Amino acid sequence: MKAAMEYIYNGLKAFWGVQNNIKKGLSEAETNLQKSQSQEDFTVNTKIEEVIKYPAFKDFGRLLFPTNKNYYSGDTLGELSLMWYSNINPSKTVEIVNYLKKRADAGETIFYDIYSDEEKLKDPSKKDTGLFFFRGNEGAKTAIIVAGGGFVYVGAMQDSFPHALELSKRGYNAFALIYRPDPQAACEDLARAIAFLYENADELGIDMQDYSLWGGSAGARVVAWVGSHGTESFGEKRYPRPAAVIMQYTALTDVTGKEPPTFAVVGTSDPIVPYRVMMDRIKRIKANGTDAEIIVFPGLSHGFGLGEGTIAEEWIDKAIEFWVKNMKNH
């Protein structure tokens, strides 16, 4: 009987030893696979879904692209197309996601929530908000970029991520805001983002003095509204106004007399935005004694982003010059 028990015991011991070795082997294989995946760059042929589900992007990978898939098409990064946008550059899309991937793989924080878990539980729509951080130089000035999307989606991959990446290359700290696509809610989200950055500036290593707000299309309206009316009008305490507002292709007509210095760009062939409306608004802002400039590009359509490969490709240089000119502390 004793011998039989020892036989069964040794058999079970051997079995569990094999099972543990299998588990260990699987764990090592998974680790090696993750390392292998982290070493491989995304390409134009990478599936968008693969980017969204990339482990280092955690739960915020879904916010890289419109959360409503009805507003974009294409299965791969190279095929990405966004409603109402033109001149989408596949190589820039790939550069952006690889930049974020490299930093996330290195353990850096590339995304910040602007609402608490309690706030998101109370209002689930706030789960689809936050700031993607494109880091510049330590202690450098800060830009916040708000993409368009007709207040039905956020077109960050064309209308804010490229700008943020380019600004970070120039040494500026840039944040791309993912917001709730509703005019009022979007302004509240931007106001909260400004508050968050002011309250955490030291920890983030950024300078919020003379910050700038950038926006395209619907996003341009958001930055103009918050820039003119202040964070105190959208649920936050009063924080300093931006040194400059940079606007792309939006037909906003409001002029309150409280506008920050404003720089605008638009194309003459924009089917959504009559360029003369933007010209008139800039003229009225200047008439109030506020610095304002506009560049109108012949033949350009709506949503040209950085304008790479077009006559507008150097517009961001002029915008930065305008921002710097209107800084009070630089």
Q: Do residues 27 and 114 share a domain?
A: no
Strand order in the sheet with 207-216: 111-112, 130-134, 173-178, 141-146, 207-216, 244-248, 262-267, 292-297
Q: Alpha-carbon Rg of the chain, whole angstroms? A: 24
Q: Do residues 11 and 78 share a domain?
A: no
Cβ–Cβ < 8 Å for 225, 303: no
Give 250-281 pLDDT, tens digit per residue. Answer: 999 999 999 999 999 999 999 999 999 999 99
Tell me, what's the pLDDT at 86?
85
Q: Do residues 268 and 237 share a domain?
A: yes
Q: Looking at residue 218, which CATH number applies to its domain?
A: 3.40.50.1820
Tell me, what's the pLDDT at 10?
52
Q: Do residues 25 and 85 share a domain?
A: no
Q: What is the mean pLDDT of the chain?
A: 91
List Cβ neighbours of 308 (8 Å cut-off, separation of 6 or more): 87, 89, 92
Tell me, what's the pLDDT at 6?
53
Q: Which helix (H) or strand (E) holds 4?
A: helix 2-39
Q: Do residues 195 and 128 share a domain?
A: yes
Q: Looking at the 3D structure of the chain, how many domains does it have?
A: 2
Give 74-117 pLDDT, tens digit per residue. Answer: 999 999 999 999 889 999 999 999 999 999 999 999 999 999 99
* Phi and psi based region of residue 288 (left: phi greater than 0; alpha: psi -120 to 50; beta: remaining): alpha
For residue 138, tell me if it sits in a domain. Answer: yes
Q: Do residues 36 and 114 share a domain?
A: no
**Residue entry with tokens 């890289």:** 64
The tokens for 329 are 């502390």
Tell me, what's the pLDDT at 87?
85
- CB-count exposure of residue 312 (10 Å: 0-12, 13-18, 19+): buried
Residues of the chain with pLDDT under 70: 1-39
Q: Do residues 270 and 151 share a domain?
A: yes
Q: Which of 309, 316, 267, 266 is nearest to 91 (CA)?
A: 309
For residue 330, tell me if it sits in a domain. Answer: no
Model confidence, pTM: 0.88
Tell me, what's the pLDDT at 31?
47
Q: Do residues 54 and 152 share a domain?
A: yes
For residue 314, tell me if it sits in a domain. Answer: yes
Q: Do residues 1 and 97 share a domain?
A: no
Q: Do residues 25 and 96 share a domain?
A: no
Residue type, 78: G
For residue 184, tell me if it sits in a domain. Answer: yes
**Maximum distance among all Cα pairs of the chain, rounded to whole angstroms:** 104
- CB-count exposure of residue 172 (10 Å: 0-12, 13-18, 19+): buried
Q: Do residues 71 and 22 share a domain?
A: no
Q: Do residues 3 and 142 share a domain?
A: no
Range(s) of the domain holding residue 20: 1-40
